[in-house]
Amino acid sequence: MVLLGRLQRWVLACMVPARQLLAPGFAARMYDQVAGLRGQGFSLRRIADELNGRGIATARGRGWAPQQVRAILGRSSTVDEAGLIASLAFATVG
């Protein structure tokens, strides 16, 4: 049982850098959709509800909340080509 706990912690620790590497690419793919809804006057809550209604999951495979919508809109200025290329390269390998 202890070994399984250690193994689980190790696997989860390895996944964190992978998620961080994929985050810019995910944000870039979602930005146009989220910004489009925001441009139509949708609130952060309404955008989250709309994405959930469409069956679109977050990068972690969960439902959307206003905080994630805000993060996507905030990341738009930090998404660069290098991050997108690294994300796409990792996605094809992983």
Q: What is the pTM of this model?
A: 0.61
Which two tokens mark 31? 């930005």
Domain count across the chain: 1
Hey, what's the torsion of the CAs at 84, 32, 67, 91, to 10 degrees? -30
Provide mean pLDDT across the span 17-23: 62
Q: What domain range is 12 assigned to?
A: 2-93
Phi, psi of 65 (to 5 degrees): -130, 160
What CA–CA distance (Å, rounded) separates 81 from 26? 13
Cα separation, 41 vs 63, whole angstroms: 21
Q: Summarize pLDDT for 30-89 with one digit per residue, the tens.
A: 999 999 999 999 999 999 999 999 999 988 888 999 999 999 998 765 444 444 544 454
Average pLDDT rounded to a whole number, residues 2-11: 62
Whether the pLDDT of residue 16 is over 70: the answer is no
Match 């910004």 to its residue by tokens.
35
Task: Please report which residue ranges of the chain form alpha helices under DSSP H.
Answer: 2-39, 44-53, 66-75, 81-93
Looking at residue 43, what DSSP letter applies? -
